[in-house]
Structure 1
Amino acid sequence: MKTISSFRKKVMTAAILGTVVISSTLAGCSADSSSSGKDDKTTINVWGMGEEAKSLPKIADQFEKANPNIDVKVQAIPWDKAHDKLLTAVASKKGPDVIQMGTTWIPEFASANALMDLTPHLDKYPELGSDNFYEGSVETTKVDGKVVGVPWYVDTRVLFYRTDLLKKVGYDEAPKTWDELRDAAKKLSERGDKKYGISIDAKEQSLAFMFARQNGSQLIDGTKPLFNEKPFVEAVDYLNGFFKDGSAPKDDIGLDIVQGFRGEGILPMFISGPWMVKIINDQAPDIKGKWATAVLPAKQSNASTLGGSDLSVFQHTKNKDASLKFLAYMSKPETQVKWLEMTNALPANKEAWSDKALEENEFYKVFGQQLENAQPMPVIQSFEKIAQTFLSSFEQIFRGGKDVQDELNSFNKKAEEILSK
């Protein structure tokens, strides 16, 4: 029998230590919020994370107008505090009714039986049906045959590039293959001293896994890691090649990505998510009309990673129907378009992408195209630790000069140990 996981140990500790804390920090949560009160209304508590959650009350107001018998209380929680607060809620069985879940957290909290299975309710609430969403988004909501969440908003990675500078080295369009990306980056790096072709973010934990998938890697087969096999090794060697030939800087060059992208274009290409569109428009108006987004260059495929957030119902809610109504409302295409306008977060609902706010935006429509070929990282509880372990191995390769195959043999053994626990 497996030993108690670190997650369960944390839950047990939280249960022992959290009694006093719970009474104050979770006041008004689902265990206490089913009361009808004199207005005969149901109150649901929604926990949202990060900056986006600050806009949730505006959407909640619109939901309340459509559902006058339901009040919504929103609590915005910083991402760095959210995990521990959720652990306390699981331990006490007292928490919110509706929870925003980072896609990589779903396996952990589903395995702790903290998230309600939505499967029996899909007929009553067709807005939650998987056909409404991108296939990759739906993958993040399924654990052990249960549907424990609904996609809310998504992000994926695309190529950002300086159109004017690429044209000068012979590319009228964005590179479409691995070979073209390498060639363009090398030519751009030869423009002069302290100029590069591309920024490779060595701290982006999904990058190598994404490129490995493009090269045909399954990453993990059941419980067997495949990180020392040819498709993965070739992908890591490919990324390392940008550092080896000087196309990408190994070290901090004292510029953030926007500074490097604008002006002379010290860093004229990089891979990132939708948030960068607004940042570049706001911070680099001098290059308006000189940059674009494109789907990723391909090897066997051009698969990108898929992230974002899901919405789940807390297993121990006393307000099941009201919570499900809120999820259904948040899943409607028109609601997701409003959310885009408020936060620049991309909709998970496919129908929302036919709205002109997305269809007519030259930058965002590329993300819609990329979402047709985007997958989440493996939906297993231990993958976060595997990904962090890889970053250490990758640093040994690109900075330390270690042999790619040898280092990935070592990394694969570590991954085996992580998966066996």
Structure 2
Amino acid sequence: MRCRFHLIVLTAALLATAACGREPQSGAPPEQAGEISQGKATGEITVWAMGGEGENLGKLAAGFERENPEAKVKVTPVPWDGAHNKIANAIAAGQTPDISLIGTTWMGEFAKTGALRTTPSAFDRNAFFPGLWSTTEIGGKSYGVPWYADTRAFFYRKDMAERANVKPPTTWDELKSFTQALQEKGGAQHGIYLQAVGTGGWQTFMPFGWQAGGNLVDDTGKFTLDTPQMRRALEYYTSFHKAGLSANDRALPGQIEADFVSGKIGSFISGSYHRSLLTKQGGAEFESKYDVVELPKGDSAAGFAGGGNLVVFKGAKNADGAWKFVQYLSRPQVQAEWFAIQADPPAVQAAWQDPKLSGDEKLQVFARQLKVAKAPPAIPTWEQVAAAIDGGLEQAAKGSPAADVLKTMQATATSIGTGN
């Protein structure tokens, strides 16, 4: 899951049921042991994975089974649009698989139920990008392992920039003048597309908030949406909409890449997954017409950290085998192999040095962005808070004063609470 899908929040009744907890199923080692045994994995290891990950993971599991001939990995593909409820219902019923892929923004919610095992010490957090590892941590403990990464970078029409005689931007000031040039001299109807409407706009906006020195919560866990730093970021972000540099309406599925290929928009911010969409829309020859660079900096560099984590449930029948499979999936060479199969950017830093990835300069931009990427707090109520931020973005982009919008965001987030 790349944090760009519609999510459904657990109902209060389900949370209450799941929070009651349950004993591990028969044969599962004590959760508090937190270690992985020596030797090869044995027995059946059940895995739930969503989307293309679920369809293709079996190809990668074959290598694990060759190394562990007495183990068998059983992968169940799960559609993303039903995954949240399926996992929640499995937790409530005490019928979870051994392992599941979980979107990073679901971590706080599911950890709150008490259904996830803590991550064994055998996993080195320093092997992963810091922002990604932080998505596994709730209350000072880790409850999973980052599997693949999602972060955002700046896509722009290289041919339009050459026509307008401008270089790719590295700062906020340059971003404004760059998009103006694409619009006034490069031929774009809109110099940039910055999401203002719909689910997930916060993912594009929050890097600007972090770059301005803002945060979503403070050290005590209280929301900090209404601050001078966040106001500066929101006013800057929505200034593109108010100046006509970015449209402020909802983009239909496929519209961004179609408008980028046609030249209607000159730039946008998105993840590496958009590269294949652009190739599909514009053909292989379109690759030479655009480029990707790191996000222009504010007071500091920052980006969005998301993606998918692997968790092992307390009710796992084969927890030891499950963690060994997660270890296998975390090897740098296996992460690089997975990228070749599924195009999921690696969460393990060393994997980016593999020849499959190191020679692709556009892709390496995302590796550099991941080094400064941050994630929202891993709290059970995050999806509700995110919806409040999305709603505020739309209001501000359509003309509401940033100060008023942030006050409403703050009040709404505070009333929702963190769920901890």
TM-score band (shorter)? 0.7 to 0.9
Q: Distance in 2 between matches of 1:316 and 1:188?
A: 55
User: Highest relative contact order (Cα 8 Å, sep 6+), 1 or 2?
Assistant: 2
Q: Which residue of 2 aligns with 1:189?
A: 183
Q: 1:159 to 1:6 in 2, by over 3 A?
A: closer
Q: SS at 1:195's partner residue?
A: coil
Over 4 Å off, 4+ runs: 5-8, 11-15, 30-34, 191-194, 252-255
1:201 aligns with 2:191: no
Q: Distance in 2 between matches of 1:253 and 1:331?
A: 36
* TM-score, length of structure 1 as denominator length: 0.87
Please, which runs of 5 or more residues in structure 1 have no aligned partner? Answer: 16-29, 35-39
Q: Which residue of 1 aligns with 2:348?
A: 349
Q: Distance in 1 between matches of 2:354 and 2:136?
A: 25
Q: Please say if residues 33 and 42 of structure 1, whose CA atoms lie closer than 8 Å, have aligned partners that are also in contact.
A: no
1:380 aligns with 2:379: yes
Instruction: Pick from 213, 218, 221 the counterpart of residue 215 of structure 2.
Output: 218
Q: SS at 2:308's partner residue?
A: strand
**CA positional deviation for 1:384:** 1.7
Deviations 1:195-219 (A, max 9, x none): 1100111232222222100100022
Q: Please say if residues 183 and 266 of structure 2, whose CA atoms lie closer than 8 Å, have aligned partners that are also in contact.
A: no
Q: Which residue of 1 aligns with 2:32?
A: none
Q: Distance in 2 between matches of 1:11 and 1:205?
A: 25
Q: SS at 1:347's partner residue?
A: coil
Aligned pairs for 1:99-114 (under 5 A) are 99-114=100-115
**CA positional deviation for 1:132:** 1.1
More moved, 44-53 vs 216-225: 216-225
Aligned pairs for 1:213-362 (under 5 A) are 213-221=210-218, 222-251=220-249, 256-263=255-262, 265-285=263-283, 286-362=285-361
Q: Which residue of 1 aligns with 2:412?
A: 414
**CA positional deviation for 1:162:** 0.9
Q: 1:249 to 1:97 in 2, by over 3 A?
A: same
Report the structure number with the largest CA radius of gyration: 1
Q: Which residue of 1 aligns with 2:136?
A: 141
**Percent of aligned positions with the same letter in both sequences?**
34
Q: Which residue of 1 aligns with 2:35?
A: none
Q: Which residue of 2 aligns with 1:27?
A: none
Q: Which amino acid aligns with 2:160?
A: L
Q: Which amino acid aligns with 1:327?
A: V
**CA positional deviation for 1:282:** 2.8
Q: Which amino acid aligns with 1:279?
A: L
Q: Distance in 1 between matches of 2:251 and 2:125?
A: 44
Q: Which amino acid aligns with 2:66?
A: K
Q: SS at 1:345's partner residue?
A: coil
More moved, 183-192 vs 378-387: 183-192
Q: Distance in 1 between matches of 2:112 and 2:378?
A: 12
More moved, 233-242 vs 5-14: 5-14
Q: Which amino acid aligns with 1:331?
A: S
* TM-score, length of structure 2 as denominator length: 0.87
Q: Please say if residues 379 and 418 of structure 2, whose CA atoms lie closer than 8 Å, have aligned partners that are also in contact.
A: no
Q: Which amino acid aligns with 1:91?
A: A
Q: Which residue of 1 aligns with 2:73?
A: 72
Q: Please say if residues 233 and 408 of structure 1, whose CA atoms lie closer than 8 Å, have aligned partners that are also in contact.
A: yes
Please, which runs of 5 or more residues in structure 2 have no aligned partner? Answer: 1-8, 29-40
Q: SS at 1:289's partner residue?
A: helix
Q: Distance in 1 between matches of 2:189 and 2:299?
A: 30
Q: Please say if residues 219 and 227 of structure 1, whose CA atoms lie closer than 8 Å, have aligned partners that are also in contact.
A: yes
Q: Please say if residues 42 and 68 of structure 2, whose CA atoms lie closer than 8 Å, have aligned partners that are also in contact.
A: no
Q: Distance in 2 between matches of 1:115 and 1:253?
A: 37
More moved, 374-383 vs 70-79: 374-383
Q: Distance in 2 between matches of 1:9 and 1:344?
A: 38
Q: Distance in 2 between matches of 1:348 and 1:378?
A: 18
